[in-house]
Amino acid sequence: RALVIRILHHLLLDTRGATKSAITLSHSAARQDLWIACRRLQFMSDLHLERVKYNYTFDTAKEASILLLAGDIGRFCDLDAYKTFLANQCARYEMVLLLAGNHEFYGSSRQEGLGIAESLVGDPAMDNKLYFMNRSRLDLPGLDIVILGCTLHSFISPGYTKLTNDFQRIKDWTVPAHNAEHEKDRSWLKESLQNIAAESDAPPRIIIATHYAPSFEKTTHPAKENNAISQCFSSHLLREVSTWSGSELISHWIFGHTHWNSKFKSGKITVQSNQLCNDSSGLSWLQKKTIHRPFNPTATLKLS
């Protein structure tokens, strides 16, 4: 039988706000068997392939049937190179889940970047395997797992435009626009959790994937924790989510953006990042041995 994967996209198609659309895709039973049998999701972020040292060439061992790319993979404006990289991943994996980081929009406006992302999803080179997780829900039938994905912009205090390059590198990008996206991401996550919790007597397990970190604590370099620039990288949503209906269903929260890899428990939620670009500068020998986590090209998450 065909496996039906339902994705609910909430895409900013104009300046007035998010527009909801539903996309239904069919996959053969053979493909279903492949990735259900594997029961693993491979995840990574912050590859920053736009940098000269990578120039959009990056490869790693395939350890799962699903690949999650949690943002800052490259720039949408480098369309040909970005497309080639994604097509190569789609040729190797059964599903490739892409989140947009802030760097995806460097060299373009947010609207232009979202348009490019959607064109990539529909590109024949992706073989219907690419999923753009922009306030999107992905159900994995047979595994009783739902993946919720969004950028999860942070909330930045007015006047802090010089703390990040985003407002110089992204066309027409402002602190109010950034904060409006934060509220949309927050509201969508809250509503999605509530809806999933109410759908059945045996609701599925939930994996949340975001680019920005959901917490100020344990998600960034110790020297940068809770300083002024932290608000450009993190929010308090992990703490807030614990009070929402459906939060008890969350098993994992994958994030990126901070250039610091961590894995810790917040209640029953495992919070984890796996960023290629990560900062070990200024750490003591003991810190390097105990708290610094290098990038793991084969990091996976069990889906069972």
pLDDT tops 80 at residue 161:
no
**Locus of tokens 């529909």:** 122
pLDDT > 70: what percent of the chain? Answer: 86
Task: Tell me how crowded residue 156 is: count the other CB atoms within 10 A of its CB.
Answer: 23
Percent of the chain past pLDDT 90, that is, above it, reads 62
Q: What is the mean pLDDT of residues 211-226?
A: 82
Least confident of 44-58, 88-102, 124-138: 44-58
- The reply to whether 1 falls in a domain is no
| CB 215, CB 236: distance < 8 Å | yes
Is the pLDDT assigned to residue 257 strictly greater than 50?
yes
The reply to whether 10 falls in a domain is no
Range of the domain at 245: 39-302
3-state DSSP call for residue 44? Answer: strand
Write the CB contacts of 108 (distance below 8 Å, at least 6 apart in sequence).
75, 76, 77, 116, 170, 171
C-alpha count within 13 angstroms, C-beta hemisphere, residue 50: 17
Average pLDDT in the 233-238 region?
90
The mean predicted confidence, pLDDT, of the chain is 85
Is the pLDDT at 57 greater than 90? The verdict is: no
- Between CA 168 and CA 160 the distance in angstroms is 12
Question: Is 194 domain-assigned?
Answer: yes
Q: How does 182-211 read in b/e, with b if 16+ C-beta sit within 10 Å?
A: bebbbebbbebbeebbeeeeebbbbbbbbb
Q: What is the pLDDT of residue 29?
A: 52
Convert the pLDDT of each residue in 114-128 to its tens digit: 999 999 999 999 999
Q: Are the CB atoms for 175 and 167 separated by under 8 Å?
A: yes
Least confident segment among 31-40, 64-73, 218-227 = 31-40
**For the CA atoms of 216, 222, 227, 231, what is the dihedral angle to 10 degrees?**
-30
Alpha-carbon distances, residue 83 vs 52, 78, 121, 123, 222 (angstroms): 17, 8, 10, 9, 36
- Pairwise CA distance, residues 97 & 51, whole Å: 22
Which residue's entry shows tokens 């917490």?
A: 215
Whether 248 shows a pLDDT value over 90: the answer reads yes
Does 284 reside within a domain?
A: yes
What is the spatial distance between Cα 233 and Cα 150, in angstroms, rounded to a whole number?
14
Is residue 23's pLDDT more than 50? no
In-domain check, residue 137: yes
Residue 17: band (very low, low, confident or very high) from pLDDT cuts 50, 70, 90: very low
Q: What angle do CA 109, 114, 115 make, to 5 degrees?
A: 100
Residue 21 domain-assigned?
no
Closest to 209 (Cα-Cα) out of 146, 157, 119, 159: 146
Mean pLDDT for 161-185 is 91
Residue 264 banded pLDDT, cuts 50, 70, 90: very high
Question: Looking at residue 30, what is its pLDDT?
Answer: 52
Tokens representing 292 are 């610094």
Give the pLDDT confidence of 74-93 residue by residue, as tens digits: 999 999 999 999 999 999 99
Mean pLDDT across the stretch 199-208? 90
Instruction: Pull the structure tokens for residue 50.
Output: 């736009």
Query: Which structure tokens are listed for 134?
Result: 């922009």
Q: What is the model's pLDDT at position 256?
A: 96
State the pairing for strand pair 40-44/300-302: antiparallel
**Domain count across the chain:** 1
Q: What is the mean pLDDT of residues 192-206?
A: 92
Provide the angle, in degrees to the nearest 10, between the axes of the packed helices 110-121 and 79-92: 40
Q: How far apart are CA 86 and CA 125, in angstroms?
A: 9
Coil/strand/helix, residue 143: coil
CA nearest neighbour of 213 among 266, 152, 157: 152
Query: In CATH, what number is assigned to the domain containing residue 214?
Result: 3.60.21.10
Asked if residue 163 belongs to a domain, the reply is yes
Max CA-CA distance within the chain?
56
Lowest-pLDDT range of 19-28, 170-179, 222-231: 19-28
- Reduced to 3 states, what is the DSSP secondary structure of residue 66? strand
- Listed range (3-17, 84-98, 128-142, 175-189) with the worst mean pLDDT: 3-17
| Higher pLDDT among residues 5 and 214, named by residue | 214
In a domain, 88, yes or no: yes
